[in-house]
Each structure stands twice: as structure tokens, then as C-alpha cells.
Amino acid sequence: MGRSYAIVGTGAIGGFYGAWLQKIGLEVHFLLQRDYEHVRHHGLAISSISGDFTLPHVNAYNDVKNMPRCDVVLVALKTTQNHLLPHLLPPLVKEGGVVLMMQNGLGVEPEVAAIVGEAVEVLGGICFICSNKTSPGQIQHVDYGEVQLAAYGQDRQSVGITATMRQIGADFEQAGVPIQLLEDLWLCRWKKLVWNIPFNGLSVVLDATTDAIINDVYGRTMAEQLMREVVAGAAGYDLKIEESFIQKMLEHTVKMKPYRTSMKIDYDFHRPLEVEAIVGNPMRAAQKVGVPVPQIAMLYQQLKFLDTRYLDS
Amino acid sequence: MGRSYAIVGTGAIGGFYGAWLQKIGLEVHFLLQRDYEHVRHHGLAISSISGDFTLPHVNAYNDVKNMPRCDVVLVALKTTQNHLLPHLLPPLVKEGGVVLMMQNGLGVEPEVAAIVGEAVEVLGGICFICSNKTSPGQIQHVDYGEVQLAAYGQDRQSVGITATMRQIGADFEQAGVPIQLLEDLWLCRWKKLVWNIPFNGLSVVLDATTDAIINDVYGRTMAEQLMREVVAGAAGYDLKIEESFIQKMLEHTVKMKPYRTSMKIDYDFHRPLEVEAIVGNPMRAAQKVGVPVPQIAMLYQQLKFLDTRYLDS
């Protein structure tokens, strides 16, 4: 029998990958909040560049207490909801099981490791995907889709490629998801931040899509400078990111379809911003080892200023 | 006979001070653009915390060629129009005369000195005033009003308090304008920037009034950090601004009436921003002497990005 999966956060990421895993015959249990009633009755519908499909019946829950413990707990909540994890994870994880953190930013794995203890393996899943939840239970997959998997080791130690990673990787591959197994979780996370910090942050502060930023001489300069600070922060932990990677990310952004970042979408919908995971944690990590990141710090403060604007009202 | 004044730029600043100078009996000539027809027929109306008055007849012009040369040429254009000065100033200045630059930012005096030559004295007039042009010829003076006068010396040398400064100061004082004569133009300009850079800049980028910035913990932190970079920039030129001055500016902003900065007003009206004079010139001046100002640089780039947003469309 295959592995069972619990999907914590059935949105653009969790709903998408969870649906694919169910489609290949695995047992999947979906935790929902607002969309619970709809998905319980109508299931999930995926509209994807890899093909459309519907799952009329899914195991839907609105309370972890009713869910079975699963081999893999896939967390795809926004990081702004991570204060719920101490309540959500303990009833779901198994001894010898896995928590797979499919979230943005830095620092989510150690947080979770502290909650679930040493008997549970913690993996990071870094998603390169453009997908949106268009209405309850409806997920639209617009572009990309690759997942990078890497294992969390205490004290930031690399634990290499684990057997669990290979098994989960095989499930994803069977489901048609391009997957990479990588040895260094921290390097993966920092490399993702090279793009995420400038473009998520500036898109909110400047009210701009990626193409508007990259095609403006000042926008591109800002992005490049912020990228250099991210690379310097990573170097403070002996994680080497080549200069060519910055140029690759800039050129990649030039070629991308005009894109509204996830943080900008959150901002436009007056939802809390993932500013701590994506910007605050890397900023503090860099400062902790004495790497100055003044422009990331200003971007952080600007986002914090804007983050409370709509929540107050 | 008293000194004659030419007012280049008859708006919230030039119209206000020019009207007071005419009111005490001095000969004043006003250069206008869009408001020329209105002011020629109806004059100027001042609504001020120091008392309201109207000047039904003023000497109004829409072309410098029709204006007489004056003892004092008071420039109160927005700095975004300074490309016009090589055309506007030569027909107006006198040998032995004065150009008084009542503009924001850094670097306007050397620009003008290069245009008018050594036979014309160049003064800086730094205005601490809240005033607005509410409609053609109508100026509302809301708060403050003090002017600091200081003389420009070649190569940034202090030339002390000149006879001309005393004479012009006396005219302003007679007109009821609080005036300070100061020895060091550069120190005055940098001190003004301590407030102007953070609050003008952030008000545009964050779409915020001064009270929203200063009353937010992140907004206040950003303002304070930017102020420190300005102070460091000044120190690069051996201009000492005390730490207590930063605290004074912050506390002053706490107590100010909620205020929309001049740059924010320009932005809201889709007018060009004074970003080069207020932010770009100080940034480059600091960088030139090796003082890093990364947060001012990012603010500059953000403002340049936003500056072209409406002009393109």
C-alpha cells in the first residue's frame, strides 16, 4: 500500500499537489477551513497546463481531530498561519512519519521540528509554480510546477538525501510533478530567497508586477542590489551562491510572463503578508552573523508598515 | 529707494514671500506661467495665519524678456524646472545683484552660480513653511514661515554673513517674515535634508502623511535610519549635526499637525517629483566622499521608479 498524505492547507499549493497524489491512487486527506462545505460536497477541480481533471470525492475535514494520522503531513498553509501548527500537527503526525513543509521563506522547518520532536522527519518542499485558487475547490495551474525536496537537519547540518525523500519523490514523480532531491535545504531556501525577497517585496511597495520592475532601470537595480544582500546573507552561513545565479534570476524574470507575486496578491486582498518568513527571518539570520543587509531591512520595515494598513481598518 | 525683486515662480513660496515684499512698498515683478492671465487681471490674495490681504495689482509677466533687471532675483520654481534657469536668469540678474534660491534640496546654488557668473551673489533661502496655492493667485499659509538665509561660496567655502544677506534679511523682517542669517549654507541645507529626505520620500513610497509615518514603529525606525544616513553624509563634508538634532526632528514631527509633504502633493497631482534635488544630489554627494547611504539609495531608486509612472501614461 502507498503512503497516506494529510494536506494541511488546501489552497493553490496544497490542493494542487494533493489532488495529483490522490489521482494516482494514494490515500489523501484534506484539511480545509472556509472551503470545507464546498469541497466536501463537490470535491476538487484542477485546471492545469498539464491537463484538467476533477476529483468529485475527496476526504475533506474542517478539524484535525477527525483526521487519521498520516505517513506524510504536507503543510501548505501561508506562513502567516504558522501559529496554528502546534495545534494542528501533533494529532496528524506518526512516529517515524514525515512533515513536508511546502512554504515560502526561511526558518519554517526548525519551527516545526521543535513541535513534532526527533521521531518525525522534517522535509522542506520548495515549489516553483504559478497556481491560484480561483474559487472554492477550483485550482488553476498557470506555469511551472517543479518541487525541490531537501531534508532538515538539526543545527542546519546537511543530512543528505534520505530514504523518505526518495519515496516521496517517487510519489510526486508518478503524479507527474517534476521533482529534484537536493542535499542542502538551507542552500535551496536561500537561493529561492534571491528571487523572492526583491520581487515579492518590491511588488507590494511599488504596486507593480514583475515585468514593470525588471523593465525599469531603477527597479532592476533595486532587485539586483537586494539579490546581492541575500547572497551575502547566505555567504554568512558558508552557503555559496554564484554571481551567475543573480544574472540568471534577472534574465529569467525578463523572460517570465508578467506576474503578480503571491505577496502582492495577499496585499491586494487585504490578507496578512508573509513578511516574516520571506523577509524578516532572512534579515535576522544575516544580521545574527554580522552581515549588514540595510536594503533588505528597509524593505522589511516598509512591508511591516504596509502590512498593518488594512488589518487595522 | 528699496531693492527691486523679481519672483521667478509665483506659487506657494514665491507668491507668498513676493506678496509680503510688495505689501511693504518694495518694487516686485512676478513671473508666471499658467496663472499669468488670472494674476495680471486679479492680482494675488494671501490667506495667512499672520493675517489675510490682497494685492489687486501686481507686475505680472509671462516672459522674462519683458521684465526689468532686478536687484534680487528670487527663484522659487520647483527644482524639476531648473533646466529653464539658463534661459530665465541672464535677462533678469544685474551685475552686483543677487540670486536668492528658495528651493528644496542640495546643489541648486552651484548650478546657478555657474549660470550667472562671479559678478552676481548667490544666496540660499531655506524655507520652513506650510503653504499651498489653492487656486490661481490664491495662496494659503497654514503654518510656520521662517526663512534661513546663507551665502554660497565657491568650492563649498563658508563666506560668512554678507552685507547683501543683512539687507535682504531686513526687507523680510520688515515684511513680518521671521528670518535667520546663517554662516554655513551647506550645514543649513544638510540639516533641512535630515527631515526632508525621510518624510518626503517615505510619504510617496508608503502613500502616507507625516503622522502615519511617525506614529508607526516601522515608519519611525525608517525615518530615524534615513536621518542617520543624512547626518553621515554631512559628516563626510565635516559638517557636524548632533544626534540630538535627529531626536528633535522626530519629536517635532510627532507634534506637527498631520501633514502631506510637498513631494506627496506633487505625486498625487502627477507632477514630476523633486527627487534629484532632495534625494539624488545628497546621495551622490555622500557617495562621492565614500559615505555609504544604502537606504537613501534605495529610497532614491523607489522614487525614480514611481516618478515616471504617471508621466509615461
**Closest CA of chain B from A138, distance in Å:** 34
**Closest CA of chain A from B233, distance in Å:** 16
Q: Are residues B88 and B213 in the same domain?
A: no
Beta carbons of B294 and A294 less than 8 Å apart: yes
B191-217 core/surface letters (b: 16 or more CB in 10 A; e: else): bbbbbbbbbbbbbbbbebbbebbbebe
Beta carbons of A218 and B294 less than 8 Å apart: no
Q: Are residues B204 and B137 in the same domain?
A: no
Interface of B with A (CB under 8 A): 205-206, 208, 213, 216, 218-219, 221-222, 225, 294-295, 297-299, 301-302, 304-306, 308
Question: What is the predicted pLDDT for the residue at B311?
Answer: 67
pLDDT in tens, B83-134: 999 999 999 999 999 999 999 999 999 999 999 999 999 999 999 998 989 9
Question: What is the predicted pLDDT for the residue at A143?
Answer: 87
Cβ pair B149, B178 in contact under 8 A: no
Q: Are residues A169 and A23 in the same domain?
A: yes
Interface of A with B (CB under 8 A): 205-206, 208, 213, 216, 218-219, 221-222, 225, 294-295, 297-299, 301-302, 304-306, 308
Question: How crowded is residue A135: how many other Cβ atoms within 10 Å of its Cβ?
Answer: 10
Phi, psi of B154 (to 5 degrees): -55, 150
DSSP label at residue B131: E
Using only C-alpha atoms, chain A has a radius of gyration, in whole angstroms, of 19
Cβ pair B115, B24 in contact under 8 A: no
Q: Are residues A178 and A221 in the same domain?
A: no
d(CA B224, CA B95) in angstroms, rounded, equals 44
Question: What is the predicted pLDDT for the residue at B309?
Answer: 85
pLDDT in tens, B147-186: 999 999 988 788 899 999 999 999 999 999 999 999 999 9
For residue A242, give the CATH number of its domain: 1.10.1040.10
pLDDT in tens, A150-165: 999 988 788 899 999 9
Cell of B276: 534629484
Question: Mind telling me the catalytic residues of A?
Answer: 192
**Closest residue by Cα to residue B32 from B72, B66, B3:** B66
Q: Are residues B10 and B151 in the same domain?
A: yes
Cell of B199: 518624510
Cβ pair A68, A37 in contact under 8 A: no
DSSP string for B247-275: HHHHHHHHHSPP---HHHHHHHTTPPP-H
Cell of A272: 496578512
Length, in residues, of chain A: 313
User: Which whole-number Å values give the CA distances from B141 to B13, B138, B248, in the listed order?
Assistant: 9, 10, 24
Judged by DSSP in three states, A147 sits in strand
Judged by DSSP in three states, A129 sits in strand
Number of domains in chain A: 2
Question: What is the predicted pLDDT for the residue at B313?
Answer: 47
Q: Are residues A35 and A87 in the same domain?
A: yes
Look over chain B and give the mean of its residue pLDDT values, rounded to a whole number. 96
Question: In one letter, which amino acid is B113?
Answer: A
Cβ pair A15, A29 in contact under 8 A: no
**Domain extent at residue B19:** 4-183
Beta bridge partners, A31, equal A8, A61
* pLDDT category of residue B312 using cuts at 50, 70 and 90: low
Q: Among A154, A183, A212, identify where a domain stops.
A: A183
CA B125 to chain centre: 7
d(CA B205, CA B249) in angstroms, rounded, equals 20
Question: What is the predicted pLDDT for the residue at B278?
Answer: 98
**Closest CA of chain B from A290, distance in Å:** 17
Question: What is the predicted pLDDT for the residue at A158?
Answer: 82
Q: Are residues A217 and A279 in the same domain?
A: yes
Q: Sign of the CA dihedral A29, A33, A39, A44?
A: negative
Q: Are residues B11 and B155 in the same domain?
A: yes
Q: Are residues A202 and A260 in the same domain?
A: yes
Q: Among A145, A161, A183, identify where a domain stops.
A: A183
Question: What is the predicted pLDDT for the residue at A116?
Answer: 97
Beta carbons of A205 and B295 less than 8 Å apart: no
Question: What is the predicted pLDDT for the residue at B51?
Answer: 92
Q: Sign of the CA dihedral A85, A86, A90, A96?
A: positive
Phi, psi of B136 (to 5 degrees): -55, 125
* pLDDT category of residue B53 using cuts at 50, 70 and 90: very high
Q: Are residues B136 and B154 in the same domain?
A: yes
Q: Among B183, B208, B224, identify where a domain stops.
A: B183
Q: Are residues B218 and B174 in the same domain?
A: no
Q: Are residues A204 and A137 in the same domain?
A: no
Q: Taking CB atoms and an 8 Å cutoff, what residues of chain B touch A304? A: 218
Question: In one letter, which amino acid is A105?
Answer: G
Beta carbons of A304 and B218 less than 8 Å apart: yes
Question: What is the predicted pLDDT for the residue at B310?
Answer: 79
**Closest CA of chain A from B127, distance in Å:** 29
Question: What is the predicted pLDDT for the residue at A312?
Answer: 52
For residue B155, give the CATH number of its domain: 3.40.50.720
Low-confidence ranges of chain A (pLDDT < 70): 311-313
Pairing outcome for strands B138-151 and B44-48: parallel
Number of A–B residue contacts, CB under 8 Å: 58
Cell of B124: 540660499
Cβ pair B142, B120 in contact under 8 A: no
Q: Rounded mean pLDDT of B281-297? A: 98
Judged by DSSP in three states, B198 sits in helix
Query: Percent of chain B having pLDDT more than 90?
Result: 92
pLDDT in tens, A199-218: 999 999 999 999 999 999 99
